[in-house]
């Protein structure tokens, strides 16, 4: 059902044409388009030979991101291999076999081959993989749960799919939050927030931030109308009006297809440091920001100009710029182009060494974005992001992470992002002149830890601080520690 919803009318169109072609031709065309549609989700891939020796009729994913980052056979087999093979056979009318390599994390797709029953597939281990984080940390997996699915069984452990057990673990503010959001509480949310979805959220810090969020107009050169930019925090003038004359502006930038709600725990933690004036903002094209005018693309140039004009209109003095994940690339790009605006740079598990994004045909963008929006994929990313999965990788966290995707412009903005080409920064990182703090989770399973030391080597004036017992999101998983290090960094400038 999930794959049918994500694919829209494509399966019926495919089924009406491809199975009627010779197997070799149908396999070739399907293999040809696979890297364009799913490359940005699973990683680089290319044409290859099928298991039965037909050249250019199969695809090899060089290193599947989901398998490499989770190390979980259960997620791979039960959430990808089995349902995808069934989907091709039943809905597309054309067989396809997926063969993941659990040692190398490669995955080979052979079109035109009927997959063997799982219980006969000797390449699928019968027990969990060594070092499986879901087995070690979720507290739900067993050799049966994450191991062999059995004949026709394509269900995952409830903790992995829905967070049913861990979802009951919320912050200490949950009970108070449930009381606050009863009655007429929906009137406290901004108009641009979906009230029904917001009322389902249990985390107190998130509810508080939702109620404090506002949109401010930012005039930009690439549009005839201002960008309504979502912010949490005070402008420099507002801070000074409250007596914070010497506070240093700290602007927080979230990651890819995320929102300022990433900083829902860090913002309260920063209140302990009055010398800082933190602002969390939504980047152009992501989160809850709304670009009312027309822009041909929402690529790096437009994101940079939007951030520059936000700084010029609301910050107005050199700031500390803090970017998390792909927000780190936004920060690096901005610091290189507007050094006068950046007093210091902070990179939190930043992504800047993978250059560019693929731009598939628009029809396939729709399919890919439907996948990106789906709850199963969001929950996979949710689980991958944390070290303490039982405490943090909850269904509530997944709901928070996809709250902005219901906005009417969400798909259009992401298409324009892909059409913008993405960031190409790997050769420019050595040119960063600002003093830079690199904060990195010591158990980051999304980018790994080697990237952190590469940043430290490439940036002339940098310091690397490891965040203990932490995954990809220190600002969410270790907010107090992150706030303390941000304050120490500010004091050192």
Q: What is the pLDDT of residues 325-362, one digit of tens each?
A: 999 999 999 999 999 999 999 999 999 998 988 777 77
Catalytic annotation present for 153:
no
Q: Is 121 helix (H, G, I), strand (E, B) or coil?
A: coil
The pLDDT of residue 291 is 83
> 182 is written with which tokens?
């009863």
Confirm if 335 and 425 have CB atoms less than 8 A apart. no
Question: Tell me: the pLDDT tens digits for 445-464?
Answer: 889 999 999 999 999 999 99
**Could you say which of 3.40.50.1820, 3.40.50.10490, 1.25.40.10, 3.40.50.360 is the CATH number of the domain covering 195-492?**
3.40.50.1820
Percent of the chain with pLDDT over 90: 52
Q: Which of 27, 148, 258, 325 is catalytic?
A: 325
| Nearest-angstrom CA–CA distance, 130 and 392 | 23
What is the signed CA dihedral for 330, 332, 338, 344, rounded to 10 degrees? 120
**What average pLDDT does range 456-477 have in this prediction?**
97
The pLDDT of residue 223 is 86
- Locate tokens 């992002």: which residue? 417
**What average pLDDT does range 268-297 have in this prediction?**
90
Q: Which of 254, 309, 472, 475 is catalytic?
A: 472
The pLDDT of residue 180 is 36
The pLDDT of residue 185 is 53
Q: 0.85 exceeded by the pTM?
A: no
Half-sphere exposure of 118 (CA within 13 A, CB side): 22
Q: Beta strands 342-348 and 436-441: pairing type?
A: parallel
Q: Beta strands 319-324 and 342-348: pairing type?
A: parallel
Q: Which of 444, 458, 462, 475 is catalytic?
A: 444
Residue 28: which pLDDT band, with cuts at 50, 70 and 90?
confident
Residue 282: is its pLDDT beyond 50?
yes
| Nearest-angstrom CA–CA distance, 321 and 147 | 44
| Nearest-angstrom CA–CA distance, 175 and 366 | 39
Catalytic annotation present for 306:
no
For 33, other C-beta atoms within 10 Å of its C-beta total: 14
Catalytic annotation present for 325:
yes
Residues of the chain with CATH 3.40.50.1820: 195-492
Question: Tell me: the pLDDT tens digits for 164-210?
Answer: 333 333 333 333 333 333 334 556 899 999 999 999 999 999 999 99
E strand spans, 341-402: 342-348
The pLDDT of residue 351 is 94
Q: How many residues does the chain have?
A: 493
> 46 is written with which tokens?
């290319």
The residues with which 276 forms a beta bridge, in sequence order, are 248
């Amino acid at each position: 059902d999930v794959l049918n919803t994500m694919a829209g009318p494509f399966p019926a169109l495919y089924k009406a044409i491809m199975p009627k072609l010779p197997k070799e031709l149908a396999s070739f065309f399907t293999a040809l388009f696979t890297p364009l549609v799913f490359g940005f989700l699973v990683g680089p891939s290319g044409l290859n030979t099928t298991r039965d020796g037909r050249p250019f009729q199969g695809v090899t994913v060089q290193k599947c991101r989901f398998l490499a980052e989770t190390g979980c056979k259960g997620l791979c087999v039960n959430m990808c291999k089995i349902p995808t093979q069934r989907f091709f056979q039943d809905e597309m009318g054309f067989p396809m076999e997926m063969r993941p390599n659990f040692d190398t994390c490669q995955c080979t797709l052979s079109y035109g081959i009927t997959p063997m029953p799982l219980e006969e597939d000797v390449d699928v281990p019968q027990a969990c993989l060594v070092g499986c984080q879901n087995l070690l940390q979720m507290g739900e997996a067993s050799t049966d749960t994450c191991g062999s699915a059995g004949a026709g069984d394509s269900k995952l452990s409830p903790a992995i799919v829905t967070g049913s057990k861990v979802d009951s673990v919320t912050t200490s503010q949950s009970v108070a939050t449930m009381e606050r959001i009863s009655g007429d509480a929906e009137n406290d949310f901004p108009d641009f927030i979906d009230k029904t979805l917001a009322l389902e959220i249990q985390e107190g810090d998130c509810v508080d931030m939702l109620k404090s969020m506002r949109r401010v107009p930012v005039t930009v050169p690439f549009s005839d109308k201002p960008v309504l930019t979502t912010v949490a925090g005070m402008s420099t003038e507002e801070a000074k009006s409250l007596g914070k004359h010497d506070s240093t502006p700290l602007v927080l930038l979230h990651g890819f297809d995320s929102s300022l709600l990433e900083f829902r725990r860090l913002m309260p933690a920063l209140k302990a440091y009055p010398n800082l004036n933190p602002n969390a903002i939504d980047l152009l094209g992501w989160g809850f920001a709304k670009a009312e005018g027309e822009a041909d693309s929402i690529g790096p140039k437009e994101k940079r100009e939007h951030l520059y004009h936000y700084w010029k209109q609301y910050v107005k003095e050199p700031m500390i710029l803090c970017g998390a994940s792909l927000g780190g690339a936004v920060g690096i790009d901005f610091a290189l182009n507007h050094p006068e605006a950046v007093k210091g740079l902070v990179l939190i598990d930043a992504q800047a060494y993978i250059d560019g994004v693929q731009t598939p045909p628009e029809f396939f963008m729709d399919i890919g974005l439907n996948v990106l929006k789906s709850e199963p994929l969001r929950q996979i990313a949710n689980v991958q992001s944390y070290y303490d999965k039982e405490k943090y990788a909850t269904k509530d966290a997944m709901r928070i992470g996809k709250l902005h995707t219901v906005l009417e412009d969400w798909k259009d903005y992401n298409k324009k992002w892909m059409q913008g080409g993405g960031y190409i920064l790997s050769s420019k990182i050595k040119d960063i002149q600002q003093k830079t703090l690199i904060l990195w989770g010591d158990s980051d399973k999304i980018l790994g830890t080697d990237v952190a030391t590469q940043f430290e080597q490439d940036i002339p004036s940098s310091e690397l601080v490891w965040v203990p017992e932490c995954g990809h999101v220190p600002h969410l998983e270790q907010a107090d520690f992150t706030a303390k290090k941000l304050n120490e960094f500010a004091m050192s400038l």
